[in-house]
Amino acid sequence: MGKNVAQKLIDSHLVSGEAVQGKEVNIRIDQTITQDATGTMSYLQFEAMGVPKVKTELSVSYVDHNTLQYGGFENADDHRFLQTLASKYGIHFSRPGNGICHQVHLERFGKPGKTMLGSDSHTPTGGGIGMLAIGAGGLDVAVAMGGGPFSLVYPKVVLVNLKGKLKPWVSAKDIILELLRRMTVKGGVGKVIEYGGEGVKHLSVPERATITNMGAELGATTSVFPSDDVTKAFLAAQGREKDWKELSADPDAKYDEQIDLDLNKLEPMIAKPHMPDQVCKVSEIEGMKVDQVCVGSCTNSSFRDLMLVSETFKKGGFKVHPEVSMTISPGSKQVLDMMALNKGLAHLIEAGARILEATCGPCIGNGQSPPSGGVSLRTFNRNFIGRSGTKDGKVFLCSPETAVAAAIYGVITDPRKLGKFPKVKMPAEFLVDDSMVVPPAKDPSKVSIVRGPNIQALPKQGPLPDTLKGKVLIKLGDNITTDDITPAGTWLKYRSNVPKYSESVFAQIDARFHEKAKATGGGFVVGGENYGQGSSREHAALCPMYLGIKAIVAKSFARIHKDNLVNFGILPLTFANPADYDGISDGDELEMTGLKGGLNSDTLVIKNVTRDKEIKLKHGYSPRQVETILAGGTLNYTTAKSR
């Protein structure tokens, strides 16, 4: 039987395990990427493994999150640490200002047919050029850099069959928003989303990357496009045609599910606050006053996206509405340079848009927070409550086309009302300047790693005890995000200082949570469906571990966060009967016994001592994960294995 693209990528990198759906397999990782918000901890973990040099084909350390070194020395010190460590251990270093990791990697380093692991949940952007690109916790990335395989459950593969061609003012962003409307933020869990059909050939690589990038919001393991002539043309324009490899599904390939999407019938879509799957047609909410428009992020900051916005202003002679603040964040230095050469930058500035640095910026709450209660239209990938930095801000997610229409008219507007569509041609040749990517040292022995005072020792967890007991410190609802657990924004400068960053845990929900956890010596957290969705930041597991959290009991977990909890020795457990969620309250005393032997069974029992009631739980761990939990986490497990 023939194979689909996802199966070809996984099977060609299989190290161990059976290629059987639902079974855990280990795959070889060719490339890794990190960014500064997660990378510092990942490299501290890599150091702790004692490996003298990375063993991947390529590893790149990007600084793209906290490039504004505000409020003290912490960010600048971390960047210096990252650069010196990269130089010593064989890692390329992309300097602040060179751009967002996903955009730069797509342009300069990604290769069809390769596997990539990244300490950022939007690593699947690389699927736009036919990579198996997976987001993971920083510790998983550290293990991959050390030559270890990456473990995943062999996934289901969903074919999104694209028919026809997009109409003017309808874009790739509308494709992924429509899928989110249909599938929801947990519809992709345990699945790879593969794109095929006649409509694929009409989508450029940047458009494909927009779709695979935001597949992270579906909860999918990753998303992937075939590598075809469109991919070849993009790589050739980057001076990298030799990196091209054809990759397509066999004619008789099978899929677990199929979703048909007629691009001819698709309309401009928009996600309403406060979740990426709260999607409707733009035409359904037209007329709502807009306070802010932000174009950029790793989802929509390509040359194609920004030139389209620029050309819309130019051709119509439009200006930014006087009651709207508009910002533009280029995805890379290459995009910024080419915008300038093509006068796209000048047109944006003339129209009244503000040009920001080539970074993540507003997407993670670093600047440009909307006004109190303000409506902000963003071409970003997430609109979780408070993520923008304004708790009552109303953030909508949309395409660059919809964003520029709102910026012009001051209200949410169907972009099809803007008239003739300004077509943007992909360049036959991109401007290539890799001077802001620093290669590793030729003689690592001469490099000294520089550590600032904010870089604290890596917290460690002991082996799992046979009995866990403590209080329920907080009970939460559905779709709790890693932003809810450990916020980004101004907190990110403490990413290498876990004791300080731990003060942020659940701070947006209960400002005293960290005090309660310390005072009681830790305890339990109870959650609803899809606990831990969103960013891959492992601090959402590492900081609770530092506070003494013993287990998270929820209805279901997001993939990356569940793996991160296991990595740090916290038990992620699900209710055997979801109705038992109602049988636990804040402050209840819980107890689990016989854990060392009990984990050999998938069913565990937790006793609610306060209510004198026993509740059955499931864990779903692989044998490797059981060993990891018993050891107290991946670092302990890996160290023991290497002896």
**Spatial CA neighbour of 553 closest among 507, 511, 605:** 605
Q: Which residue is catalytic, options 122, 347, 382, 514?
A: 382
Phi first, then psi, for residue 471 (nearest 5°) are: -90, 155
Q: What is the Cα–Cα distance from 503 to 498, expressed in whole angstroms?
A: 9
**Spatial CA neighbour of 62 closest among 96, 111, 109, 110:** 96
65 catalytic per annotation: yes
Q: Which residue is catalytic, options 13, 30, 36, 65?
A: 65
- Residue 373 burial class via C-beta count within 10 angstroms: exposed 0-12, middle 13-18, buried 19 and up: exposed
Coil, helix or strand at residue 376: strand
Tell me which amino acid residue 637 is: Y
Phi first, then psi, for residue 247 (nearest 5°) are: -150, 120
* 595 token code pair: 């854990």
Place of tokens 């054809």: 246
Q: What is the Cα–Cα distance from 525 to 551, expressed in whole angstroms?
A: 7
120 catalytic per annotation: yes
Q: What is the Cα–Cα distance from 243 to 241, expressed in whole angstroms?
A: 5
171 catalytic per annotation: no
Q: What is the Cα–Cα distance from 205 to 201, expressed in whole angstroms?
A: 10
Q: Which residue is catalytic, options 64, 337, 483, 588?
A: 64
Strands 589-592 and 468-475: antiparallel
Q: What is the Cα–Cα distance from 111 to 427, expressed in whole angstroms?
A: 19
Beta bridge partners of 554: 574
382 catalytic per annotation: yes
**Spatial CA neighbour of 190 closest among 9, 32, 21, 25:** 21
Tell me which amino acid residue 557 is: F
Instruction: Output DSSP code: residue 459.
Output: P
Q: What is the Cα–Cα distance from 221 to 423, expressed in whole angstroms?
A: 33
> What are the residues whose beta carbons fall under 8 Å from the beta carbon of 623, sequence distance 6 or more?
none
Q: What is the Cα–Cα distance from 64 to 98, expressed in whole angstroms?
A: 8
Q: What is the Cα–Cα distance from 628 to 565, expressed in whole angstroms?
A: 11
Q: Which residue is catalytic, options 108, 122, 537, 539?
A: 537
- 10 Å Cβ neighbour count for 631? 20
Number of H helices, E strands in the chain: 20, 27
- 10 Å Cβ neighbour count for 19? 12
466 catalytic per annotation: no
Beta bridge partners of 411: 289
Q: Do 482 and 527 form a contact (C-beta atoms < 8 A)? A: no
Phi first, then psi, for residue 511 (nearest 5°) are: -60, -20
Q: Which residue is catalytic, options 151, 332, 496, 535?
A: 535
- Cα–Cα distances in angstroms (integers) from residue 600 to residues 466, 597, 604, 618, 620, in the given order: 13, 6, 10, 11, 10
Buried b (16+ CB within 10 A) or exposed e, 267-305: bbbbbbbbbbbbbebbeeebeeebbbbbbbbbbbbbbbb
535 catalytic per annotation: yes
Q: What is the Cα–Cα distance from 105 to 34, expressed in whole angstroms?
A: 11
Q: Do 509 and 474 form a contact (C-beta atoms < 8 A)? A: yes
Roughly what angle, to the nearest 10 degrees, separates helices 205-214 and 229-237? Answer: 110
Beta bridge partners of 227: 247
HSE at residue 453, side-chain half, CA atoms within 13 A, is 2
Q: Which residues are catalytic?
A: 64-65, 120, 382, 535, 537
